[in-house]
Structure 1
């Protein structure tokens, strides 16, 4: 009886053939992995971020807090205040300009000056209410940031770096903001410059922080699926 000798470079049948097929089988993805990849494709929309403009997040919670910041939030604050003041000016610029002129030109203590002063105070109060509503709406949303904060790459978080609760955001932008604005010499804001966590007075009152915006890592999700 003759036996066939293996020829160099030729595939053999039997057990060796089964062993050769195993790597290909191991490459097949499980149903869980396929579902995970499909969900990630839907979140990204099949497109990569261009890196330009405002860093709008997708529908998923893809932002997280990084290092606490102070300088960025100062710039963001100036931008947001100018945006809200610009909105008020666009809506009431004619009357606002007239009241400013009357306040400047009217004799001190005259009824005209008092009326103009009351009108200007009303516009300042309107600006404050609009800014509070704007801040609450933006920071409590999935964006976790106003347009100014988005421009400088900052995000509002809780003390642990997660998404803050609605109650904290409301406290931050109402009573907290009022108190920090009436503290003399802007001490409520400046104190954040000397704290390691960069928290200002209204942050401490509301249990929030302002951090550098960082894309959420997907490594944990991939590790769980493909482990």
Structure 2
């Protein structure tokens, strides 16, 4: 089996259905710091071992590192004793976590309503959308703001494009989310999340600061309206 995205053959006996990919020059950013390093890597996923990653001087070395992690997962003490992994969040607020015994990474192992960040407007635990000028603040799906693409779609619709033209390459779920957003915002308001004309050629940092300020102003308005509702 060829390791995806490389010209290197896999040497470990991965079970059928395992997805294996890698690279010779991956960049790794160290969480919580500005440090980074370059390494060969192999990433592996199947339903039994979940997602894991190995690193090394070569792709083959990285595969062996991934294989060693896979064996640790397969012999997990928690699985042997309890029939399931013993999960801990380790700072993740999106439902993901790691097994205490074997270090397996799992997604959707915690309920967002328990581990998420309180919505800025209503306090519901969420991981839906970051926004505004204070890092680590979130909005839930019911109080979210237009994202990166919606303002462009709204501007196109205001410019005369049809819904079918705007969403030609998107599925039903995307259309449904935009329709839900339009229940709370007008097209003009959604398009208003695009940087104004006088900033379109400005430095990225200037446009980004404007966008964050704009988001904060809208979130404050939504929160004030929510608090004033009977």
Same fold at TM > 0.5: no
| TM class by smaller structure | under 0.3
Which of 1 and 2 has greater Rg? 1
Q: Choose between structure 1 and 2 for higher RCO, CA contacts under 8 A separated by at least 6 residues.
A: 1
Higher strand share: 2
Length-normalised TM-score, structure 2: 0.22
Give TM-score, length-normalised by structure 1: 0.22
Name the structure where helix makes up a greater proportion of residues. Answer: 1
